[in-house]
Amino acid sequence: MTEQTAQNNRPARLTDAARDALLAELPRWTLRADGLAIETELKFADFNAAFGFMTRVALYADKADHHPEWFNVYNTVRLTLTTHDAKGLSERDAAMARFIEGVV
């Protein structure tokens, strides 16, 4: 499922097969052009709904010690998930994306 990394403390990068399976599971997400991250854009009823969503994700991210890159304007939230230590996608990104899908 994941490639081995040189250092045991670093998250392992997902294999291409695991990445493709994740994308099949999460059709709202797309692979970034460089192949190192997944992205999505979500629309909410209004700013309060968007900010409420971001708050729930922020609380999860703090507990998971894994934080999305995101951008918000009014009712739109764009998210990018990647694991810098793994130099690509890891199980941490998969878990975060699954959590986000459960909150939307």
What topology is assigned to 16-102 in CATH?
A: Gyrase A; domain 2 (3.30.1360)
Rounded CA separation 2/60 (Å): 23
List the domain boundaries for the chain: 16-102
| pLDDT value for 4 | 46
What whole-number percentage of the chain has pLDDT above 90? 90
pTM above 0.85, yes or no: yes
Q: pLDDT for 86-99, tens place per residue?
A: 999 999 999 999 99
Q: What angle do CA 26, 31, 80 make, to 5 degrees?
A: 85
- Tell the burial category of 8 from Cβ atoms under 10 Å away from its Cβ (0-12, 13-18, 19+): exposed
Q: pLDDT for 22-54, tens place per residue?
A: 999 999 999 999 999 999 999 999 999 999 999
